[in-house]
Amino acid sequence: MSSPLGTIIIYAKDMEKTARFYCRHFGFESTGEVHEGLIELHAPFGGAAILIHQAAKSIKLGQVGVKLSFHVQEIEAFIINAANNGLKFGALHHAHGYSFANAKDPDNNAISISSRVFRIAQQ
C-alpha cells in the first residue's frame, strides 16, 4: 500500500499574506479564494499541495516541529532572486555535495531551500 504525501496544511495568522508568500517565492499557484476555510495552493510542476488554514488565536506559530524544504537546483541564483523579492535567507551551507539555506515564512515557520536531490552520487 502506498501513501504519498499530497498536502501540507499551514496555519497562518493572515491567510492571504501567507498564500501570496508561497506563490511569489516558490511558484505555487492559487486563486487566493477562501473555500471551506482554506486557501489551496498548487505546485504547477508536481509535488505536494499546500492548504493555508486560519490559525486560532491559541495556536503558537513558528515552532520548529516541521520545516518545509523546497528542491532548488541553482541555490545561489534563487537566493539572489528571493532577496530582490524581499525574502532573505540565512547563510548558505554546503554538505556532502549539495547546498542549503534557511528562512522563515510570514508566520515564522521554518523553510529551507536545498539542492540535495540534484547532487551527483559520489562514487
82 conformational bin, left if phi > 0, alpha if psi -120 to 50, beta if neither: alpha
- Measured over the CA atoms of residue 29, residue 115, residue 65 and residue 2, the dihedral's sign is positive
Question: Does the predicted TM-score (pTM) go above 0.85?
Answer: no
Q: What are the structural domains, with CATH classification, of the chain?
A: 7-118 (3.10.180.10)
At 110, the pLDDT band (50, 70, 90 cuts) reads confident
- Count CB neighbours of 99 within 10 A: 19
Q: pLDDT tens for residues 36-47?
A: 889 999 999 888
What is the band of 123 on the pLDDT scale with cuts at 50, 70, 90? very low
